[in-house]
Amino acid sequence: MLDYSALAATLGEELLQKIRSTRVLMVGTGGIGCELLKNLVAAGFANIECIDFDAIDVSNLNRQFLFRKAHVGRPKSEVARESALRFNPDANIVAHCGSIFDAQFGTAYFSSFGLVFNALDNLPARRHVNRLCLSTNTPLIESGTAGYLGQVTVIRKDATECFECQPKPTPKTYPVCTIRTTPSAPIHCIVWAKYMFAKVFGAVDDDDVDDDGSGSDEGGEGGDEEKVAMLQAMAQTRKSGAQLRAMDAPQLFDYLFSEQIASLLAMDVLWKTRTPPQIISWAEATGAGDKEACEAGPSAAGGLRSQKVWSVAEAAQAFAASHAALVAQYAAAGERPLLSFDKDAADCMRFVTALANLRARCFSIAPSSEFDAKAMAGNIIPAIATTNAIAAGLMVVEAVKLLREAADECRTSFIMQYPTRGRKARYLNAGPVAPPNPQCFVCQAQFVTLAINTVATPLSFFVDAVLRGHFALQEPSIEVGSAVVYESGEGAEDMDDQLPKMLDAVRITDSAHVSVTDYLQDCEFTFVIAHDPGLAPGADESDGRFRILRADHAKRKREDDQAGEAKRAKPNEEPTQS
C-alpha cells in the first residue's frame, strides 16, 4: 500500500483527495505512457484508464521500462497496468487493448473523465483525441517528444489553442521518377529498396505505383524531355513480381544493378547535368561470383555490425544471405505468401540495407550503415528515455494545477537539446499557453470558405481528399439544405453510388452552404463553396486542386452577414453639393 502521508503534507489533504477521486484517461502506453502511468500512480491518482492497441516489441525494451523481455508480444496496455500496480496496488487501473478510433471510445466515454492525457506518437490519433476532448469540454494534457526535443501543453476549450490551431508538417513524399531513375540522396535509395522488397515479396506491382512523377521533393525534376526519358527507362526493364521471385540471388542482383542501370545509361538526356550511374555486376561485387561464399553474410568484426558501412562485397554478401532467408519465409507462408516489411525483422532490414547501399554505390551516393538505414526506413526519430521522463513529469505538474483550479498557472513547456543563450541558459523553457487561433476550423471557425472546381471535381475527391484527408474527419456526413448528399459509416453503403458524381450534380455549387458532420468526433461545421474553374481536376492537392480561402467563427459570420444586409438595405444617399 502506498504511503500517502508525504503527498498529503506536500499537496494538502483536500487536493490529494481530489487527485485520488478524479477519473483520468491516458491514451498511449509507449515511451511517454510508461513514464506517465508510473508518475500518476506515484502522485496518488487512483482511477485511471489507459488505451493502446499495440503489442510489445523487443525494440521497445530500451526505453519503455514497464516492459521486460518476457512481455514481448503481449498488449502494452495490459502489461503497463500490471507493472504500475506494483508501485501502488491501491490504484484502480483499467486497461483497454484497442484503437482510440473504435466507436466505444466516443464522446460518451470521454465525458466520463475529469482529465485526459495524450501520450501518442501519430497525428491522426492526436487530432481525434483533441476533437473528442473539445466536444466534451474535457481538459487535455498534450505531449510529444522527438529525440532530445519535447513539448507539453494544456488544451482547454475556448481558453487555449487546441492541437490543430497551428498547422502540422505533412510527411515527406518523393516523386516516383526520382526514386527509380535519378536518386540523389540516401533516403531515395532507402525508399527504392523498400519498394523492391514489396515488389519481390509483397503485394506491390508496377500497376499499383503511380508513374507520373507526382509528389513533392525539393529541387523537383527536369522538363518534359527528361520525364519522357525516365518513363521510357522504367518501362524498358519492367518485370513483374512473379518474374523477380523466379530469379536466384545472382540473377536478381544483375537485373537490379546491371540491366536496369544499363537501361538508364542509354537515356543520354538524363545525364546532361548529372553524374551518370555505374554498373555493378554480381561477378564484380563478389570477386569470383561465388554465390555460396556470400550466403553467410558480411563479417561482424571491427565494431558494432549495425553501425558499420558495408563495402560493395559485404553488401552483396548481405543481399545474398537475406534473400535466401526471405525466399524460405515466402515459401513457408502458405496460400498467401506475402511478406510485409518490418524494420525490426533482421532479414527484412538487411535486405533493404543491402539494396539501398548497392543502389547508392551505383549513383555515387554515400552509403548508410544498417543502423542509419533502419532509422530512415522506419521513419524513426530516435527515442530518448530521459526526454520521455521529463515530458511525463511535466504532464503531472500541469494536471495538479488544473485540479487545484489554477488553470491560469498552466504553461506550455519546451524541452531543448541545447541550452538557450543569455544569462539564464536553460534546457527547459516554459511560457503561457497560447489563446485559440480564430482561424482554427476545429475549435473556433465553424464556417470555412472552400475554393474548388465544382464542375470537374467528383464527390469522392471532396470526401477523401478534403474531408478525410485535409480535415481529418473519420465518418463525414454531408447535407446541402435539407437534402442528405452523402453519409459514411456502418449501414450507409447505399450512398456510395453518389461518389462518382461531380459536385454540381449533387447540389454542391457556387455559393452553396454545405453542412458537414462527423458524429464519431462530434464535430460540425459549414463549407461555403466558391467555384473556381481554374483549379484543375488533374492536379494534386499541393498544386491547388482546392484552397481554403477563409475560416470564420459563427458569431463573427453572423455579424458580417448582418452588416452586409444593413448596407444593402440602406438607400443610396444623395451626393452633397460643394
Give tens-digit pLDDT for 114-142: 999 999 988 889 999 999 999 899 999 99
52 belongs to an annotated ligand binding site: yes
- Round to whole Å and give the CA distance between 67 and 78: 10
Helix or strand (DSSP H, E) at 2: none
126 belongs to an annotated ligand binding site: yes
pLDDT in the model for residue 287: 78
Give pTM, 2 decimals: 0.67
575 belongs to an annotated ligand binding site: no
What's 209's DSSP letter?
S
Q: Where in the chain is the domain with CATH 1.10.10.520?
A: 176-377
Instruction: State the cell numbers at 297.
Output: 553474410
Handedness of CA 238, 241, 246, 247 (dihedral sign): positive
Instruction: State the cell numbers at 438.
Output: 480564430
133 belongs to an annotated ligand binding site: no
Q: Where in the chain is the domain with CATH 3.10.290.20?
A: 445-567
60 belongs to an annotated ligand binding site: yes
pLDDT in the model for residue 205: 41
Q: Where in the chain is the domain with CATH 3.40.50.720?
A: 5-167+383-432
pLDDT in the model for residue 176: 65
- Round to whole Å and give the CA distance between 68 and 76: 11
pLDDT in the model for residue 31: 92
Give percent of the chain above pLDDT 70.
81
Q: CA torsion angle for 398, 403, 405, 411 (degrees, to 10)?
A: 10
Q: Class assignment of domain 5-167+383-432?
A: alpha beta
What's 147's DSSP letter?
B
The C-alpha angle with vertex 489 and arms to 483 and 490, in degrees rounded to 5, equals: 115
Q: Look at strands 428-432 and 445-452 and give their pairing.
A: unpaired
124 belongs to an annotated ligand binding site: yes
355 belongs to an annotated ligand binding site: no
pLDDT in the model for residue 78: 96
- 362 touches 192 (CB < 8 A): no
Catalytic residue among 50, 177, 348, 362: 177
The CATH number assigned to the domain with range 176-377 reads 1.10.10.520
- 323 touches 353 (CB < 8 A): no
165 belongs to an annotated ligand binding site: yes
- 398 touches 154 (CB < 8 A): yes
Helix or strand (DSSP H, E) at 142: strand 140-146
28 belongs to an annotated ligand binding site: yes
92 belongs to an annotated ligand binding site: no
Give counts: helices (H), strands (E), the chain. Answer: 20, 14
pLDDT in the model for residue 105: 92
pLDDT in the model for residue 405: 94
Q: How many residues does the chain have?
A: 578
User: Would you identify the CATH topology of the domain 445-567?
Assistant: 3.10.290
180 belongs to an annotated ligand binding site: no
Residue 512 to residues 333, 459, 465, 480, 527, Cα–Cα distance (Å)? 54, 14, 19, 7, 8
Q: CA torsion angle for 285, 290, 295, 296 (degrees, to 10)?
A: -90
3-state secondary structure (DSSP) of residue 60: helix
Is residue 50 annotated as part of the catalytic site, yes or no? no
Low-confidence ranges of the chain (pLDDT < 50): 205-224, 288-297, 300-301, 539-543, 554-557, 571-578
